[in-house]
Amino acid sequence: MLLRSLDAIAVARGDDLPDAVRIGDTTLSRSDILGAAGALAKRIGGAERVAVLATPTASTVIAVVGCLLAGVTVVPVPPDAGSAELDHILRDSGAQAWLGAAPDGTDLPVVPVRLHTRDWHSHPEPPPSSIAFVLYTSGTTGPPKGVLLSRGAIAAGLDALADAWKWTANDTLVHGLPLFHVHGLILGLLGPLRVGSRLIHTVRPTPAAYAQANGSLYFGVPTVWSRVVEDEVSAKALSGARLLVSGSAPLPVPVFERLADLTGLVPIERYGMSETMITVSTRVGGEHRPGWVGLPVAGVETRLIDEDGTPVPHDGESIGELQVRGPMLFDGYLGRPDATAASWTEDGWFKTGDVAVIDEHGFHRIVGRESTDLIKSGGYRIGAGEVETSLLGHPAVREVAVVGVPDDDLGQRLVAYVVGDVPSPEDLIEHVVAELSAHKRPREIRVVDSLPRNALGKVQKNKLG
């Protein structure tokens, strides 16, 4: 059973948890979740895919669990998605309806999510091979692709993390991460419902909210932890926790060290993608090194390959493309057989597109992206090409190149180099916000006379930023 803690028979026998999930001002017991999600599952049974506007609310929790009970695939949609991004996700996914809240002007039917309705009929567990989620990528090399994640892959991924982090039903997980990607949704919501631990979702991941939650296990992206260490009182309040986990982007070494100094806890770093979930992590009780993400989790194999397809030695210095295989990998890209085939080697390894080094003890360090077009800002993975396409749709823009530049708070911030008669940088930023998610907006517009290009006309982004 994917969500083991929501076993209907066990809950009926009294194995309830009155504060299983607290999200904002709403607290849900296991029976609250099971009853409301059961009522929703009864109404949506037979649907294939539905969209959920993934706001940090109890309605989102019930919508996701209701779909999992009914065997209906969930398409999580960022609440701040712009019109172009939203249209693409809905069209590409084939979502048949919205569950709960829906954007204004939607053409899809809306199925309400009622928190106080109850239905206790049992639902047959769908097979492990059935697709639970279609998660959309950042659109690095074009429109975002729908990643197909099966129930079996999710279960394998969560069990591997429970093993690596000694995550048990005695834990209380605290985070305030978005509920439309692997970190906040799969790990941060389904993880507690599988392991049986409590979840406190703070809606916003502020240092004060984290300090007040009194949890044992905390999730955050580097931006969250950089803000925590700037608030010494809040940081020291986390010293009673068992584990602080950082992911979605590299944790700057100064933040790692300051967090350890203030809390007495050495952060856990890990590595994964939408397509793979978490495949590499440092361990509870194991070695922790700033800038290194640790060892493959249970069931995962990794290797480094150079440009010629030759294995790269594990010497802690030689760089190669990181390839992985394991039971938590995705089932392909929705409707994209060519892209799916291109992402795998002939001998069955997934090509991550990231470059890394591995030392003689198997410890991994992620060096960066093979291309320069993946920007990690505030914990988000943002495709430069998607933002460039949006900017080129503005009549004042003739040429554009988007890069990520180092930022103490965000990790990287988006800077757009623009050629054109730009009346106001704010106009361009607002243009992007209207089309894409707000976190994909450029933080700065730099108007230039020309972009540096090589002999083939390709923009040389290494000369920008």
* Helices and strands (DSSP H and E) totals, the chain: 13, 24
Q: Is 411 part of a structural domain of the chain?
A: yes
Task: Select from 44, 117, 113, 3 the least CA-distant residue to 11.
Answer: 3
Task: Give the distance from CA 178 to its chain's centroid.
Answer: 8
Q: Is 446 part of a structural domain of the chain?
A: yes
Q: 132 and 178 in contact (C-beta within 8 Å)?
A: no
Q: Is 43 part of a structural domain of the chain?
A: no
Q: Is 428 part of a structural domain of the chain?
A: yes
State the virtual CA torsion across 385, 387, 324, 271 in degrees, nearest 10.
150
Number of C-alpha atoms within 13 angstroms, CB side, residue 389? Answer: 16
First to last CA, the chain: 49
- Count of domains observed in the chain: 1
Burial of 438 (0-12, 13-18, 19+ CB in 10 A): middle
451-459: long-range pairs with CB below 8 Å, 24+:
451/399, 451/401, 451/417, 451/419, 459/401
Which amino acid makes up residue 169?
A
pLDDT, residue 455, reads 41
- Six-digit token string for 200: 């406190």
Q: Rounded to an integer, what distance in angstroms lies between the CA atom of residue 449 and that of residue 465?
A: 15
Q: Is 189 part of a structural domain of the chain?
A: no
Q: 355 and 306 in contact (C-beta within 8 Å)?
A: no
pLDDT tens for each residue of the chain, 465 residues long = 999 999 888 888 888 999 999 999 999 999 999 999 999 999 999 999 999 999 999 999 999 999 999 999 999 999 988 888 899 999 999 999 999 999 988 899 999 999 999 998 888 999 999 999 999 987 655 678 999 999 999 999 999 999 999 999 999 999 999 999 999 999 999 999 999 999 999 999 999 999 999 999 999 998 899 899 999 999 999 999 999 999 987 787 778 999 999 999 999 999 999 999 999 999 999 999 888 999 999 999 999 998 788 999 999 878 888 999 999 999 999 999 999 999 999 999 999 998 888 999 999 988 767 666 668 899 886 767 678 878 888 889 988 888 999 999 999 999 999 999 998 999 999 999 998 889 989 999 999 999 887 543 567 787 886
Q: What CA–CA distances, in Å, run from 442 to 251, 399, 413? A: 22, 15, 7
Q: Is 418 part of a structural domain of the chain?
A: yes
Number of Cβ within 10 Å of residue 116's Cβ equals 8
pTM reported for the whole predicted model? 0.83
The CATH code of the domain that includes 379 is 3.30.300.30
Q: Is 235 part of a structural domain of the chain?
A: no
Task: Select from 68, 7, 77, 1 the least CA-distant residue to 41.
Answer: 68
pLDDT, residue 212, reads 97
Q: 146 and 140 in contact (C-beta within 8 Å)?
A: no
Q: Rounded to an integer, what distance in angstroms lies between the CA atom of residue 457 and that of residue 443?
A: 26
Q: Which domain holds residue 457?
A: 374-463
Q: Is 337 part of a structural domain of the chain?
A: no
- Six-digit token string for 86: 């939203």
**44: three-class secondary structure by DSSP:** helix
**152: three-class secondary structure by DSSP:** helix
Which amino acid makes up residue 69?
L
- Six-digit token string for 51: 């969209």
- The per-residue DSSP string of 351-401 comes to EEEEEEEE-TT--EEEEEESSS-EEEETTEEEEHHHHHHHHHTSTTEEEEE
DSSP H/E element including 228: helix 222-229
